[in-house]
Amino acid sequence: MDLTPSPALVQLELRGPVAVVRLARPAKRNALSDAVVAQLRDIFQTLPATVRAAVIDGDGPHFCAGLDLSELQERDAGAGLHHSRSWHAALAAIEQGPVPVIAALHGAVVGGGLELASACHIRVADASTFYALPEGSRGIFVGGGGSVRIPKLIGAARMTDMMLTGRVYNAEDGERAGFAQYLVAEGTAFAKAMELAERVAQNAPLTNYALMHALPRIAEQPADHGFFTEALMSAIAQSAPEAKERVRAFLEGKAAKVAK
């Protein structure tokens, strides 16, 4: 058995309360191999308790060009099922983990790279970003959760068009379609993502948790169920000691008010 540890294909850097998680395969346009996916899963499952937000970035000119096709092999249906489920577990560790995650998008956000981006809670794209789902032309289907997450961003019709025709969205059209919430100048996506992460990290942790875990579920519940879930979550969040301190500070004029 080969006990040699896998190289650090994903780097973790702690900047105060923000974890910077960087794909580190620039020569491969940060393509997602099985080892990369496993390292992403392990990092997000073991984040230090001091972390309050995270940023996912890609080393080099591209965020992530998708599945590492050099690893694509003949699989029977069972092996393919388990491979897809391993991606689901890794991306669920991001989407359903302990802290909000912001993606700093640039260059290629393609295939599995778009699936990875869609698992994040906020996406910042710079002007070099482009989006594509080439699986349709390669005779395969998305397997990393894209069929669930991406239509929630852009709609099933747009995703169908991308996979049927190979359509590529540039940064501006992609922002309008809903791939990203922010569009910034080329080369500044990481700086903007860090700015947002530092702001998010200042929120009450229970409020952030509610936004990550309760809000998506409420959005998919029937209205009466959603209202009840909202009431429960609201009661829990406002009962936290930190929430009480923040409301008290606002009432005493010690907290900033909303401004343009």
Active site residues: 115, 135
Spatial distance between the Cα atoms of 35 and 227, rounded to a whole number of angstroms: 42
Please tell me the distance from the alpha carbon of residue 196 to that of residue 258, in angstroms, as a whole number.
17
Pairwise CA distance, residues 221 & 16, whole Å: 36
List beta partners, residue 124. 104, 182
Q: Please list, in sequence order, all residues whose beta carbon lies within 8 angstroms of the beta carbon of residue 200, skipping any fewer than 6 positions away.
A: 52, 53, 100, 102, 122, 208
Sheet holding 169-170, edge to edge: 108-110, 130-132, 169-170
Q: Is 83 exposed, middle or buried (CB count within 10 Å of its CB: 0-12, 13-18, 19+)?
A: middle
197, HSE (Cβ side, Cα atoms, 13 Å): 30
Tokens of 192: 């903007």
Query: Amino acid letter at 182?
Result: Y
**Sign of the dihedral through C-alpha 43, 45, 49, 54:** positive
- CA 141 – CA 159 distance, rounded (Å): 12
CB of 26 closer than 8 Å to CB of 59:
yes
Closest CA to 109 of 34, 44, 189, 41: 189
